[in-house]
Amino acid sequence: MLRSWHLGKLFGIDVYIHWTFLLLILFVMMGQIDGGIPAAVLSAALIIATFGCVLLHEVGHALMARRFGIPTLDITLYPIGGVARLTRLGEKPMEEFWIAVAGPAVNVAIAALLGVFMVLSGKPFAPNPSLQSLLHPGDDVIRALQCANILLVLFNMLPAFPMDGGRVLRSLLSTELGRLRATEIAAKLGTVFALIFGIGGIFYWHNAILALIGGFAYLAGQQELAMVRQIEYNRRAPPLDVLPAGSEIIDVMPVAIDANFSGVTWDTRTRTWTVWKNGQPVQSRAHDAF
């Protein structure tokens, strides 16, 4: 089964592209075929160029993470965007802040450089960016590419965790509330945006990709929230010689505890961790009690 293709290395980081990216190119070309083959090819070229900017966006995250001693496993491009897989989270809130803003900063720089190029060539800056300028670029690919980068900045900086804006929000909240509570707040707000993307993408904007982004954002946000809960528990809990290796933390509500379950549950309502062994609770304490 086809998965991702290795494109090479950039700044020592492996870069992959998922096979479904070809479906995006085909979809864009089919949507423009009524305007002739040149229009379809031009639109496909613009999408490829835009994803080149997405790749540079992810490289911005990776290089800033490297500055804080955090390696990047790889970067993969999907039809809904790019993902840079870091080996770990930043240990300090401001590390996450700078890593998060580094990606959009790259797109700001690209948009500015394209603006300088247009001024030098006698063209004005791009007007209000819109999806129409990206999907129907006409002959002015440079202006459309600048609009694409402006849209990437605006979209990524929405406070929709785990997108860049959501990570910025979490980093700022973490300075006062701690990472766990900040992640819970950011994840709840991210869920709201995920619903907006999903419902709006299907019923209002008729944009399947936006709906997919909403679904991905929700799942990724919940997965990271669970990971942060486990990291926080492992960091704060006293050592216990009762759990098997690889025990995981799960939400206690509405999950029923199996008679043979050994692990840790997190109760969102009471904000308590409970350690279980063979279906029996052996320790329970509130997060704030650590």
pLDDT digits (tens, 9 = 90+) for 134-177: 555 555 788 889 999 999 999 999 999 999 999 999 999 999 99
pLDDT of 131: 52
Q: Do 19 and 149 reside in the same domain of the chain? A: yes
Among 126, 157, 188, the domain-final residue is 157
Residue 204 gets which letter from DSSP? I
Q: Do 123 and 187 reside in the same domain of the chain? A: no
Number of domains in the chain: 3
Q: Which of 58, 96, 184, 232 is catalytic?
A: 58
Mean pLDDT of the chain: 85
Q: Do 42 and 105 reside in the same domain of the chain? A: yes
Q: Do 33 and 81 reside in the same domain of the chain? A: yes
Q: Do 150 and 29 reside in the same domain of the chain? A: yes
Among 157, 173, 199, the domain-final residue is 157
Residue pair 257/277 in contact (Cβ under 8 Å)? The answer is no
Least Cα distance to 155 among 2, 261, 50 occurs for: 50
Q: Do 83 and 153 reside in the same domain of the chain? A: yes
**Structural element, H or E, at residue 236:** helix 208-236
Q: Do 84 and 114 reside in the same domain of the chain? A: yes
Report residue 238 as tokens.
């006293």
Among 236, 262, 278, the domain-final residue is 236
Tell me, letter by letter, the H, E, C secondary structure of 86-115.
ECCCCCCHHHHHHHHHHHHHHHHHHHHHHH
Catalytic residue status for 91: no
Least Cα distance to 175 among 252, 95, 240 occurs for: 95
- pLDDT tens per residue, range 201-260: 999 888 888 999 999 999 999 999 999 998 888 777 655 554 444 455 555 544 566 777
pTM: 0.80
pLDDT of 232: 84
Task: Please state whether the peptide bond connecting residue 254 to the residue before it is cis, i.e. omega within 30 degrees of 0.
Answer: yes
Q: Do 30 and 152 reside in the same domain of the chain? A: yes
- Report the C-alpha gap between 290 and 286 in whole angstroms: 7
Q: Do 10 and 137 reside in the same domain of the chain? A: yes
Q: Do 200 and 136 reside in the same domain of the chain? A: no
Could you list the residue range(s) of the whole structural domain that residue 5 is in?
A: 1-157
